[in-house]
Amino acid sequence: MSILDPLDRPIAQTSLPPAPQPRGSAVRWVVVGLCALAAGAALTFWWLSRAQPAPTRAAPTAATDVAVGSNRPKQQDLDLPPLDSSDTFLHDLIAKLSQHPTLARLLATPGLVRGATLAVVQIGDGRTPITPMKVLRPQARLSISGASSGRIDPSNYVRWDGPTTALTSVSPADAVQLYVNVKPLFDQSYRELGNPDADFDKAIVKAIQILAATPRAPDDPVLLRRKDYFEHDDDTLRNLPPVQKQFLLLGSANRQKIIDWLRKFAEGLDLKIS
């Protein structure tokens, strides 16, 4: 039986031009890739609400009634910086608002939009993404009860409480408004990855769908220890797409919190998640 992509070890990617990052657990990017998008969302929405008067909503007419049921907000006027210089724009916003240490470390890394775009695309492809956000790697490493094989102690999942809380502490509604406002930056980054239609909505839907399709599994599965990595003893879990195997390592409680948040985010954008 062939051994597919290992657990708790990143898979080499070549999509980004920067030099390869040090090897470490890739599970964090399942959370962080979308965390970057969600974190920035709250920030710009907050900034806009202080800098501009609330838009006046026109009374419904026969021509606009068809859109009354839409959840997706309209794009607000905002002078977006060029993609190459958008890091400072987002970093300055989060420095004025967020006190969450995980988000603060995240926003201090370069290439925020491109990193988040690549992570979302790779998740949608079933891969475990690697980004320049190595500062978020948990200090504690995954451990099992035995030497060559053993069950995961559920306490291991605490490693991912911080990234999970960082994401779910952001209002999905605020994340939706920010995404709508800065979507041109994500569309441009998405186009750079070889997607000529440049509609990043499609990548978001695909990524959420594959995470939501991760099967239920016990929080204490048996893992086999290999050199530098672990793999599932259960054939069904071992044969899952790499990103789903990694998502399982967040624990059922954290997974449910993330999926609930992502569904609310998608609902706010009128994106259909099967």
Per-residue pLDDT of 135-145, as tens digits, reads 667 778 888 99
pLDDT class of 206 with cuts at 50, 70, 90: very high
pLDDT at 231 over 60: yes
Cβ-based neighbours of 63, under 8 Å, separated by 6 or more? none
pLDDT at 13 over 50: no
Return the pLDDT at 39.
43
Whole-number Å distance between alpha carbons of 64 and 83: 34
pLDDT at 254 over 60: yes
Q: What percent of the chain has pLDDT over 90?
A: 43
pLDDT at 253 over 70: yes
Whole-number Å distance between alpha carbons of 30 and 72: 25
Parse the chain into domains and list their residue ranges: 27-52+83-138+160-216+243-268
Return the pLDDT at 103.
75
Average pLDDT, rounded, for the chain = 77
Burial (CB < 10 A; 0-12, 13-18, 19+), residue 101, is exposed
Return the pLDDT at 71.
82
Q: Please compute the mean of the pLDDT values over residues 166-171 and round it to a whole number.
A: 84
Backbone phi and psi for residue 215, each to the nearest 5 degrees, phi listed first: -70, 155
DSSP state of 199: -
Return the pLDDT at 54.
41
Return the pLDDT at 86.
94
Which whole-number Å values give the CA distances from 268 to 29, 83, 272, in the listed order?
23, 25, 10
Return the pLDDT at 235.
94
The pTM (predicted TM-score) of the whole model is: 0.74
pLDDT at 56 over 60: no
Q: Please compute the mean of the pLDDT values over residues 207-223 and round it to a whole number.
A: 95
pLDDT class of 130 with cuts at 50, 70, 90: low
Most confident of 45-59, 123-137, 178-192: 178-192
